[in-house]
Structure 1
Amino acid sequence: MTDEAHSRPTVHALLADGTTVCIRPVRGADHGQVQGLYEEMSPENLRLRFFAASRRSAASAADRACASPHRGYQALLAETAGRLIGLAEYERTDEQDTAEMSIAVADGLHHRGVGTLLVEHLVSAARAEGTTAFTADALSENHEVLRLFADLGLRTARRFEGPEVRCTIALDESDTYLTAVEERGRTADVVSLEPLLRPKAVAVVGAGRKPGSVGRAVLHHLHAGGYTGRLFAVNPAAHSILGVPCHPSVGALPVTPDLAVLAVPAAAVPATAEECGKAGARALLVVTAGLDAEQARDLLAACRAHGMRLVGPNCLGISHTDPEVRLDATFAAGHPRPGTAGVAVQSGGVGIALLDGLSRLGIGVSSFASLGDKYDVSANDMLQWWESDGRTDLALLHLESFGSPRAFSRTARRVTRRMPVLTVDAGRTDAGRRAAASHTAAAATRTMTRGALFTQAGITATHSCGELLEAAALLHSQPLPAGPRVAIVTNAGGAGVLAADACAEAGLSLPAPTPELIDDLLAVLPDSAAVGNPVDATAAVTEEQLTDCLDRIMRHNGVDAVLVALVPTAVAVATGDDLVRALTRAPGRRPKPVAAIRLEQGLPVELLPAADGTVPSYAEPQAAARALAHAARRSAWLARPAGTVPDLDGVETDRAHAVVAAYLDTHPDGGWLDPRVCAELLDCYGIPQSAWAWADTEDRAALAAERLRGADGRVVMKGHWPGLVHKSAEHAVHLDLRGDSQVRAAFRDLETRFAGLLQGVVIQPLADRGTELFAGVVQDQVFGPLVLFGLGGTATEVLADHAARLAPLTDHDVHDLITAPRCAPLLLGVNGARPVDLEGLEQLLLRLSRMASDLPQLAEADFNPVLATPGGVSVLDARVRLLPRRPQDPYLRRLR
């Protein structure tokens, strides 16, 4: 095996039954365990593995797996509690890019996903080394291993050769395979969370006898909240706390706790976690804060060694309101109201605010997790739990960081199809625009990166806890609008104007009523009413008239949602009319969303009880409009089919890898490619470039200019030296050069001004007129490649007209990138102008995305300007920076 393959990191992952296993390369010291794995197999399983029941095969297999590392061979093992339970290996064959693979699982551990998990990790290792297919031989009666291969989600072909079957498994990373891996991961993840969220016994370690301690507060919440399982306290100085039995240590408990809550000093956390693991606990909730790096490492090591899932440290706690559990292991002021919203936060303060808000609205909580420092359990875990629990229909998140954004994005895209997923976009600003070496790096702010993730995953991103609750109230209580068209009805003209302004600012539309609708409404409203949009029903409107008005608007095909802005009047009081009741007394749930605006309302948002559900009511028009806009965007996202990543012709991935490897061999620290290497890399992906030539002397520059002159005879000269990025800012560009003398003079000028730096020049024909655009990519170590697009030229950073999406781009993502910037009308054609080559522009962005997805070493790519005309698209200037990075599989099943 290669040194890189042999040094693959040790990771932990979950089996199908939720057990934590360690996956790592086999080492020489493992020889005895590997041989024992085979020797302990039954004769029948030995025969199925080696096609003969010979004990000598065990020693030979151990010799091969534990031999000194050699190229083209990889062996991975799975172990739990120090016991080797499975082994998978491959060895490259004489056939190009193909490897022979085999797998073995310890007797008694079949059907728990050991083999499948090992094969997934073996596939990832093989892909990283360029292997494109596995072959594996099996006896035709070995139904278990044949089923394992068939269920992987990879394309598998079988060829029968007498009693044997040769399986060929293509290692392409198709969506089918990723979906299969996701489903296996989701099942294992949910099972592993059962001891955490549905524990049969809980122990609070560190509960004090005196009021004021966090541990005592958690114990009180569990006891007073009616937890249905067995509850214990651990304190060597007490026999009972708050009426809960107390024991001196975890090991002294009469039963093994599924969940242990740790509220001990930071220095004691690792040892306490180890004690819990040895006692058989399956989950930890660590509310303690202030762990240093060593304590944190030891805590996580104890959890991994003993297979415990961990929430925290430094967190508020967890709750699960199912009547069969009634688990409230938090130190919040009150108990959350049972309901249907799942909540996961990193900040305890935000968690308290959301719990209070959801309880006040009557939505309530299905389960709650304060993730704290998020060593293990993450929002991804909680999304998968809510997807499966049968109680949650609304997910609320507050995330300051992401462990694996690409895995989170795939999970969120799936979950968001089933329920709204809302988040507070925390940490979305940068402390000023960073000083960046390229336009792409300057544009790729945290706001753009997170925004791209949320947009592509269909997550409703809000800017505050208040806005989150506003949107949650509407999404919980009302159907989704079919579109952004809103009708406003009011009993006071001024309130209607405020509502109309708010809708316009939120991106909603206010269609004028049709003549038929006008006649329909005038027939039921007071004579003084004005039927436009807003509909001013006047202070004279009665409850019955308002009800009829709303019913008729609801039936109108040109309206998707209704906002009703009401103010209290003496007229309504005198007649005994309750205008709010016109919204809430409808006998059946209305087919379109309706929301109230009541300026006198004390709370920002309320849910008004209705005949069939609830109706949201807002104190501010802006809040109501924002909530409706979020609902409209969710509706549009759901209505659009999932995008696909198009196949591209003319892509030479192997050649691109060779170009990158050759550059990094001579530049081990990475750097900006010179124009020749940069052009070669772009050519590997069929990215169109303007004609150009390299010249390192005055004579060669003159010859290149003569060859490249266009019809008008003008060329451009750009200087180059290592590290030069912004040529215009350095005045290293000469434009509009005519004739041999001007070209020579320009070369001498650059040679003189940049003596000791200049390595050569790029000569290009002067470009035609067109729209100057910008395209680029930044490889974020956490989020992966981010593709940016927008208006280009020298003012690209000043105008900041950019959109961004995470790679790999789908066909929908590319469409969104092109249409999102403010300059989009220039591309589509305005004032009789022809549109630019949109298909060529899409191809350029898709190929840029593919290049970034293929090459983790690509740190930045900066195409500015990209010239777009009706006749085509061409990159006029390209810069690419490489760094020595290893490929990582963001979808590989592993714990944090």
Structure 2
Amino acid sequence: MTDADHSATLPYPQHWEADVVLRDGTTAHVRPITPADRDALQRFHTGQSQQSTYMRFFAHLERLSDRDLARFTHVDYVDRCAIVATTTSAREPGVERIIGVARFDRVDADEAEVAFNVSDHIQGKGLGSVLLEHIADAAREVGIRRFTAEVLPHNARMLAVFTEAGYDQTQYVDDGIVTVSVDLDPTVRSEHVMAEREHRAESRSMQRLFRPRRMVLIASLTDEPTPEETRLASAALSSGIGVAGQVLHVVGLTPVTIRDAQRRHGMRDTFVHHADVRSFLADDTTFDLAVITVADHATAPILAILADKGIHTAVMMSSGFAEKGAHGLRLQRDMLRTAHGAGIRIVGPASHGLFSSTSDAPFNASLAPSLPPAGTVGLFCQSAAMAVTLLATVGRRRLGVANFLSAGNRADISGNDLMQFWHDDTDTHAVGMYLESIGNPRKFARIARRLSRRKPVVVVSAGQSGHIVPRGHAVRQTSTPRKTLDHMFQQAGVIRTANTHELVDTLQYFATQPLPGGPRVAIVATSESLAAITAEAARSSGLDVRHMGVIPPLAPARDVHATIEEAYACSDVDTVVIAHVPTVTDVGADTLAAIAKNAARHRIPTVACMYGFHGLTPELTSDGVTVPAYSTPEDAIKVLRHVHGYTTWLATDQGDRIEHHDIDRHRVSQLLSAAPDGPASAELTANVLAAYGITVWEAVTVATSAEAVAAAQTVGWPVALKSTADALRHRADLGGVRLGLHTPEELERAFHAMRTELSQQLGRSPSDPCFTFSVQKMAPSGVACVMRTREDELFGPVISFGLSGDATDLLDDLSYGIAPLTTTDAITMVRSLGAAPRLFGYKGLPTADTDAITDLLGRLSQLADHHPQIRELELYPVVVAHQGAAVLSARLIIQPAQRYDKQRRQLPQ
């Protein structure tokens, strides 16, 4: 196509910009090309080897001609587009260096030729697959559904990019050239490939973070730090910051300040001092991790030069960024852009830091004055203030921690990154997360579901709904119901706790005890009343009390031990609960030893409520097994409820992602792109649903009784007559519906009666044109249900299900799921309703076809997941009979696509 053939020109599509993580954990910036990239593109081209140039152009070109440079950099972002990947260097501050290019040229309405060129020095880091994801996402946005590419047979790397992407593709060879044709509609396999690559890159990035060999503390750019810089840096020094066995380099503090901070805390004088950044740069030592406490405005300049010192991660303890308003947000974005351009990932700003206690690479880069013991729990916390509370609680409980990170404003590294790391980290056996906000719930749910299959994920969320956004957190607003977040956690197998106390209670179980085999519990208590209270709490939590033993006051030690051993001897018990609150004497050491020894010998999960003990104590430890102690029996039982729920989720087949193949995704894309925003017509709605295998029963709008009879003859008797007024649709109780009309006479009488009754209710003349009705064939009798999907700005497509009627909405008896759903998700949505018994033969009524319900939910999930232009879609009512389900009405609202979680990898923006 020539320039004259271009049907449209888009303004610079800034939303295509993204920061990405490559296979080795480094970062790069991806963005559309502009005319200003002319010189950078030439430098990129001349820096390529002859072989790479030949692979791209099928000829050796030493330089690109002026005509080529103009054609490659002047694009319209519709018919011709190019995406470049860039990095920056301290040697050329502010100058972007192109390291990869992907471009397409439209050759047909929905087809384009695509080409790639990746810098020789970055080959093997997965940049080609990243560029394919981003150029494909841009192409889909402008209506392109297929890529073709001509590749030389010996260009194995490029052929592998297409082959391994997971898209449906074909290849054929003609005249020594391989022509590859790629269908750009995402598939389950292509999305799985993307998620796997994303996992490997982000996990690798975190592995680099948690395995530093050398660290540097940068307190100031000059030899005169501000009081704020001095206080923050001194606090870091006082915490023992550094890598075990390594000398710490400190930049920007006076030697006196350093010695004072170390002397106050009895630390050794093991540091190298650099008065300012110039001195630091003159030293040829390289580093892995930088802890930065400089003033907010100075962060971007220092980051621009750190990459040349080998630093790949910076911990920003300074505050004064997004939490301070628009100016701080600009500083934060500038800082992040500089960091990612230099290949550096950021923890923070306003972070409390991080540490790792693993034996092979222990280090501390936090402000914590003392660290908890080494252990197997991984911790993530956003707020620095809550990190202080969480670490203090963990320390009091003696709970061992493998690694910890406080994300602060979470500008870059988030809980999602940590979950990617924990999935592969053999030192971490259980995960605890204190979340103040979730920036990308769809990604969180996807990663958490995967992680939960391997190790428990325990979460406390500061906001019960996800509607609260703390200052400094760049999070989109949400309008979802409050319990959507709960349903998302349940869908992902995440254990949600109410507060920090309950979070640590639950983690201390997973850190010390095996998973129980079932819900059967034995209780041993020091009084009948305490046993009864504990048993009631257990039964209320869904546990099955199989044995109760009572230890009388002042009982001899042998009787105490016998009662305890009797509980462990029960063959039908999965967990033992000890509630020992002596009223006359203290708990004897021999009793504590007996509990610990029985737990260790029988390997039966045990929890204890022991007066005077809390957390993990040596008194309740035997043969390497520690029985966790809780403040109250209710606390212990609450933990067992969480544990039982998690083991049940683990034992449940999570099913496969629902993927119907009798759909026409491309057809719906065409329909939606051609339709105006706002409510869709009944015809368009029916066509969209039909493309996904959902049939809406025909309803004919009529204005007279004669038209009603004619419509009934068309759709078939018996029929239903319904008002088209929004307030009366489907409302038989308000006189808006007449059902089971078998003859023309019945229909005519119903028509005139409805018009008269409704005119009286609304105070209008029966001849008012607003009184129109619809005629529809009667569906088989069954249970009326409602299914909806809504594109939420934060959560993406949220699917809901309930039985129809006012009670459902007033009592919020709805279930929710985040698309895409699995088969198990759909079944859970049906069965979790309070009114679900009506679907399963309630009071002798016929059972409803729940398979038909889950089929519809799955199709609705696919439709919503594939097409973010669908703002709202409601199927109401859906009448579910003993066999089959009839969709009697549907309502669709269309909007411009604005989904954040796209089919491409990118860091938070």
TM-score when normalising by structure 1: 0.86
Give 3-state SS (helix, strand or coil) of 1:625's partner.
Answer: helix
The alpha-carbon deviation at position 889 of structure 1 amounts to 4.7
Give 3-state SS (helix, strand or coil) of 1:617's partner.
Answer: coil
Match status 1:733 vs 2:736? yes
Q: Supply the AA of the counterpart residue of 2:234.
A: R
What whole-Å deviation, never above 9, does each CA across 1:776-819 have from its counterpart, x for those lacking one? 12211121111111232122222221211111111010110111
Give 3-state SS (helix, strand or coil) of 2:205's partner.
Answer: helix
Equivalent pair of 1:493/1:536 in contact (CA under 8 Å):
yes
1:686 to 687, 693, 699: 693
Give 3-state SS (helix, strand or coil) of 2:532's partner.
Answer: helix
For the structure 1 residues 402 and 110, does the alpha-carbon distance in structure 2 shift closer, same or farther, using more than 3 Å as the test? same
Equivalent pair of 1:489/1:563 in contact (CA under 8 Å):
yes
The alpha-carbon deviation at position 498 of structure 1 amounts to 0.9
2:490 to 441, 451, 455: 455
Matches of 2:478 and 2:796, distance apart in 1:
17
**How does 1:280-319 map onto structure 2 within 5 Å?**
281-291=311-321, 292-319=328-355
1:192 to 205, 216, 223: 205
Matches of 1:725 and 1:41, distance apart in 2:
69
Matches of 1:111 and 1:725, distance apart in 2:
63
Match status 1:365 vs 2:401? yes
2:520 maps to which residue?
A: 485
Matches of 1:757 and 1:411, distance apart in 2:
55
Give 3-state SS (helix, strand or coil) of 2:839's partner.
Answer: helix
Match status 1:776 vs 2:783? no
For the structure 1 residues 714 and 403, does the alpha-carbon distance in structure 2 shift closer, same or farther, using more than 3 Å as the test? closer
Match status 1:743 vs 2:755? no
For the structure 1 residues 801 and 423, does the alpha-carbon distance in structure 2 shift closer, same or farther, using more than 3 Å as the test? same
2:231 to 207, 213, 220: 213
Matches of 2:445 and 2:208, distance apart in 1:
26
Matches of 1:759 and 1:821, distance apart in 2:
36
For the structure 1 residues 358 and 112, does the alpha-carbon distance in structure 2 shift closer, same or farther, using more than 3 Å as the test? same
Matches of 2:80 and 2:498, distance apart in 1:
51
Match status 1:107 vs 2:137? no
Give 3-state SS (helix, strand or coil) of 1:427's partner.
Answer: coil
What whole-Å deviation, never above 9, does each CA across 1:599-657 have from its counterpart, x for those lacking one? x3454786831223111122212211111121112212222334212332543333333
Q: Supply the AA of the counterpart residue of 1:120.
A: E
Give 3-state SS (helix, strand or coil) of 2:724's partner.
Answer: strand
Q: Supply the AA of the counterpart residue of 2:35.
A: G
Matches of 1:854 and 1:730, distance apart in 2:
37
2:907 maps to which residue?
A: 895
RMSD: 3.7
Give 3-state SS (helix, strand or coil) of 1:477's partner.
Answer: coil
The alpha-carbon deviation at position 18 of structure 1 amounts to 2.6
Matches of 1:756 and 1:257, distance apart in 2:
81
The alpha-carbon deviation at position 672 of structure 1 amounts to 3.1
Match status 1:379 vs 2:410? no
Equivalent pair of 2:520/2:543 in contact (CA under 8 Å):
yes
Equivalent pair of 2:614/2:628 in contact (CA under 8 Å):
no
Match status 1:715 vs 2:715? no
1:562 maps to which residue?
A: 576
For the structure 1 residues 678 and 746, does the alpha-carbon distance in structure 2 shift closer, same or farther, using more than 3 Å as the test? farther
For the structure 1 residues 808 and 240, does the alpha-carbon distance in structure 2 shift closer, same or farther, using more than 3 Å as the test? closer
**How does 1:771-810 map onto structure 2 within 5 Å?**
771-810=783-822
What whole-Å deviation, never above 9, does each CA across 1:490-513 have from its counterpart, x for those lacking one? 3422111111111122222335xx
1:38 maps to which residue?
A: 45
Give 3-state SS (helix, strand or coil) of 1:37's partner.
Answer: helix
Q: Which sits farther off after the overlay, 337-346 or 30-39?
A: 30-39
Q: Supply the AA of the counterpart residue of 1:221.
A: S
Match status 1:473 vs 2:491? no
For the structure 1 residues 318 and 230, does the alpha-carbon distance in structure 2 shift closer, same or farther, using more than 3 Å as the test? same
- Percent identity between matched residues is 28
Match status 1:262 vs 2:270? no
Equivalent pair of 1:5/1:74 in contact (CA under 8 Å):
no
The alpha-carbon deviation at position 60 of structure 1 amounts to 6.9
TM-score when normalising by structure 2: 0.84
1:516 maps to which residue?
A: none
Matches of 1:801 and 1:156, distance apart in 2:
45
Matches of 2:768 and 2:37, distance apart in 1:
57
The alpha-carbon deviation at position 480 of structure 1 amounts to 0.6
Equivalent pair of 1:773/1:867 in contact (CA under 8 Å):
yes
What whole-Å deviation, never above 9, does each CA across 1:391-439 have from its counterpart, x for those lacking one? 222211111212222222222222222221111032014899xxxxxxx
Equivalent pair of 1:154/1:172 in contact (CA under 8 Å):
yes
Q: Supply the AA of the counterpart residue of 1:474.
A: Y
1:231 to 232, 243, 249: 249
Match status 1:90 vs 2:126? no
Matches of 2:187 and 2:873, distance apart in 1:
26
Q: Which sits farther off after the overlay, 376-385 or 681-690?
A: 681-690
1:663 maps to which residue?
A: 675
What whole-Å deviation, never above 9, does each CA across 1:361-398 have from its counterpart, x for those lacking one? 33322221111111111001112223344322221111
What whole-Å deviation, never above 9, does each CA across 1:232-253 have from its counterpart, x for those lacking one? 0414796745355544433321
1:398 maps to which residue?
A: 434
Equivalent pair of 2:659/2:862 in contact (CA under 8 Å):
no
1:152 maps to which residue?
A: 165
For the structure 1 residues 42 and 208, does the alpha-carbon distance in structure 2 shift closer, same or farther, using more than 3 Å as the test? closer
1:613 maps to which residue?
A: 625
2:544 maps to which residue?
A: 509
Equivalent pair of 1:201/1:256 in contact (CA under 8 Å):
no
Matches of 2:845 and 2:736, distance apart in 1:
31
1:26 to 33, 42, 52: 33
Equivalent pair of 1:340/1:366 in contact (CA under 8 Å):
yes
Equivalent pair of 1:250/1:276 in contact (CA under 8 Å):
no
The alpha-carbon deviation at position 223 of structure 1 amounts to 4.8
Matches of 1:62 and 1:225, distance apart in 2:
49
For the structure 1 residues 144 and 9, does the alpha-carbon distance in structure 2 shift closer, same or farther, using more than 3 Å as the test? closer
For the structure 1 residues 676 and 161, does the alpha-carbon distance in structure 2 shift closer, same or farther, using more than 3 Å as the test? closer
Aligned residues: 853
2:886 maps to which residue?
A: 874
What whole-Å deviation, never above 9, does each CA across 1:858-893 have from its counterpart, x for those lacking one? 222233433222133223443332222245553521
For the structure 1 residues 180 and 45, does the alpha-carbon distance in structure 2 shift closer, same or farther, using more than 3 Å as the test? same
Match status 1:823 vs 2:830? no
Give 3-state SS (helix, strand or coil) of 2:751's partner.
Answer: helix
Give 3-state SS (helix, strand or coil) of 2:25's partner.
Answer: coil
2:279 maps to which residue?
A: 252
1:48 maps to which residue?
A: 55
Name structure 1 gaps, 5 residues minimum.
433-440, 512-532, 665-669
1:419 maps to which residue?
A: 455
